C-alpha cells in the first residue's frame, strides 16, 4: 500500500490518504497545520517523512510519516524568509532544500528526522524569487529555477552549497519555472518564459555549452519540463497550441515529434511520463483538464478521456510509483481526482470521504513520485 498527499489552498493546506487502488479514509489532519496555502509537497525517498512548501511563516513544515502525520517537526532554527514554492529532498534523504521568495531565494538544511542547522547560504545567491529546485540524480549538485538573470543557478552539493558553478555561456532568456536533470545526470533542462521557452545544457559538474535550440520551438511560455525515464525523450508543458511539445533526446534536441492528433484543450501546467515510459500525461486548462497518450518515440492516439473528468483546471499530475494509478490536482471540488491506469484511464476512484478544502496545487504518491506546484499561481505572485 502507498499513500497520496495533496498541497492545496485553505485549511488544513495539506491532505493525505492511504492509497490502495483508491482513496482510503483521510488521515487525521496534522496536529499543527501548515500556516497558509501550500504550493508543493514531497515525501522523503524512504517514505518516512513529508514536507510542505507554503505561504506564511514558517514557510516550510514537515512531519514524520507512518501511515499518517506524526507530530510536526520543530521549525528550522532559521526559516526561509518568505513564501515557499517548491521543496525537494536529496536522493539519499539527508538534506532538504526550499525554493522561495526573497533573498537568499533558496534555503537548505541537513535532514535527519527533522531540520538540522541551516546550511550557510551560497556565496553567490540566485538573483531573485525561486520557483523550482532539483538535486541531480547522484545528489552531488543542486539547481534552482528563478526570476531575473541568469534565471538558473547551480552549485556543487556536499552537505551544503559549494561555489556557484559558472553561469551558462548562453542563458535562458527569461524567468524560469521548472528545472530537471536527465535520469543519468548528464544533462539539465529549464522551462522558462520567452523564446526559445526551453533551454538545455550538458551537465558535468557545471553547465556545458548550450545545446542548439530545437528547430521547432514550444510556442509560448513553458511551465514544466520532464525527461522520459530512459532519458531518450523530453517533453515541455506550455501555453498556446499545441500546449505540449516533445523531442527525442540524445545529448541535445532531436526533430520535434509530430503533435498529438488530438491536442490538450488549453494551456498546460504539468507533464509526467509513466514510470515505465510507455505513457505521457498533461495537466491543463479547460475540459478534460487532463489528457494522456501512449508514448513510444512520439505521441500515440489520445486515450479516451476519463468517464468522469477532473472538475476544473489541472495543475499537477502524477503516476503512482508502480504505474498502476494516476492522480490530478485541480481547481474546484473534489480538488484531487484519481483513476486506475492501464494503458488508459479506468473508472474514476470514489472521491475521498473528506475532500481537500480548496484548489489542489500539487500531488505526490509515497514514497516518491511527482512533487508539483502551481506555476500559474506563482506567475501571478511574481511582482509581490
Residues 338-367 have pLDDT tens digits of 999 999 999 999 999 999 998 999 898 987
Predicted TM-score (pTM) of the model is 0.93
Backbone angles phi, psi at 379, to 5 degrees: -60, -40
179 CB-side CA count, 13 A: 31
Instruction: Residue 42: count other Cβ atoms within 10 Å of its Cβ.
Output: 26
Residue range(s) defining the domain that contains residue 118: 2-380
Give the tens place of pLDDT for each residue, 243-283.
999 999 999 999 999 999 999 999 999 999 999 999 999 99
Is the pLDDT confidence value at 369 over 80? no
Q: Tally the domains of the chain.
A: 1
**Nearest one of 371, 360, 361, 307 to 333, comparing CA atoms:** 360
H helix or E strand, kind and range, residue 376 = helix 375-380
Look over the chain and give the mean of its residue pLDDT values, rounded to a whole number.
Answer: 93
CB 345 within 8 A of CB 351: no
Work out the percent of the chain whose per-residue pLDDT is above 70. 95
Give the tens place of pLDDT for each residue, 169-180.
999 999 999 999
Confidence of residue 372 (pLDDT cuts 50, 70, 90): low
Instruction: Residue 237: count other Cβ atoms within 10 Å of its Cβ.
Output: 28
Integer Cα distance of 242 and 238 in angstroms: 8
Q: What is the dihedral of CA 135, 139, 141, 145, to 10 degrees?
A: 0
Give the tens place of pLDDT for each residue, 133-142.
999 999 999 9
pLDDT at 375: 55
CATH of the domain at 375: 2.130.10.10
H helix or E strand, kind and range, residue 380 = helix 375-380
Is the pLDDT confidence value at 371 over 50? no
Integer Cα distance of 172 and 132 in angstroms: 14
Give the tens place of pLDDT for each residue, 3-57.
999 999 999 999 999 998 889 999 999 999 999 999 999 999 999 999 999 999 9
Backbone angles phi, psi at 85, to 5 degrees: -115, -20
Amino acid at each position: 500500500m502507498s499513500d497520496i498527499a495533496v498541497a492545496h489552498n485553505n485549511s488544513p493546506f495539506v491532505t493525505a490518504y492511504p492509497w490502495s487502488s483508491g482513496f482510503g479514509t483521510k488521515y487525521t489532519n496534522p496536529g499543527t497545520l501548515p500556516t497558509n496555502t501550500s504550493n508543493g509537497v514531497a515525501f522523503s525517498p524512504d517514505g518516512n517523512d513529508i514536507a510542505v512548501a507554503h505561504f506564511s511563516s514558517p514557510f516550510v513544515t514537515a512531519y514524520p510519516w507512518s501511515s499518517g502525520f506524526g507530530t510536526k517537526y520543530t521549525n528550522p532554527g532559521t526559516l526561509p524568509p518568505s513564501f515557499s514554492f517548491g521543496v525537494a529532498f536529496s536522493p539519499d534523504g539527508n538534506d532538504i532544500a526550499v525554493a522561495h521568495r526573497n533573498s537568499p531565494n533558496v534555503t537548505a538544511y541537513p535532514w535527519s528526522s527533522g531540520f538540522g542547522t541551516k546550511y550557510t547560504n551560497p556565496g553567490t545567491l540566485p538573483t531573485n524569487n525561486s520557483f523550482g529546485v532539483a538535486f541531480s540524480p547522484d545528489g552531488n549538485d543542486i539547481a534552482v529555477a528563478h526570476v531575473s538573470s541568469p534565471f538558473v543557478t547551480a552549485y556543487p552539493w556536499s552537505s551544503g552549497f559549494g561555489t556557484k558553478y559558472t553561469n551558462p555561456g548562453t542563458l535562458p532568456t527569461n524567468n524560469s519555472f521548472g528545472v530537471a536533470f536527465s535520469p543519468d545526470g548528464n544533462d539539465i533542462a529549464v522551462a522558462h518564459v520567452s523564446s526559445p521557452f526551453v533551454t538545455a545544457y550538458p551537465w558535468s559538474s557545471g553547465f556545458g555549452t548550450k545545446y542548439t535550440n530545437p528547430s521547432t520551438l514550444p510556442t509560448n511560455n513553458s511551465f514544466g519540463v520532464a525527461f522520459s525515464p530512459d532519458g531518450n525523450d523530453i517533453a515541455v508543458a506550455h501555453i498556446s497550441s499545441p500546449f505540449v511539445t516533445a523531442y527525442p533526446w540524445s545529448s541535445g534536441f532531436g526533430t520535434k515529434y509530430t503533435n498529438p492528433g488530438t491536442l490538450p484543450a488549453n494551456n498546460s501546467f504539468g507533464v509526467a511520463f509513466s514510470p515505465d515510459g510507455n505513457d505521457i500525461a498533461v495537466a491543463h486548462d479547460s475540459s478534460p483538464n487532463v489528457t494522456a497518450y501512449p508514448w513510444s518515440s512520439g505521441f500515440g492516439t489520445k486515450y479516451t478521456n476519463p468517464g468522469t473528468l477532473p472538475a476544473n483546471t489541472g495543475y499537477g499530475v502524477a503516476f503512482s510509483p508502480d504505474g498502476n494509478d494516476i492522480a490530478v490536482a485541480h481547481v474546484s471540488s473534489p480538488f484531487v481526482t484519481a483513476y486506475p491506469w492501464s494503458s488508459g484511464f479506468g473508472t474514476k476512484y470514489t472521491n475521498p470521504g473528506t475532500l481537500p478544502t480548496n484548489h489542489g496545487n500539487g500531488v505526490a504518491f509515497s514514497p516518491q513520485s511527482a512533487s508539483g506546484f502551481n506555476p500559474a499561481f506563482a506567475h501571478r505572485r511574481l511582482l509581490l
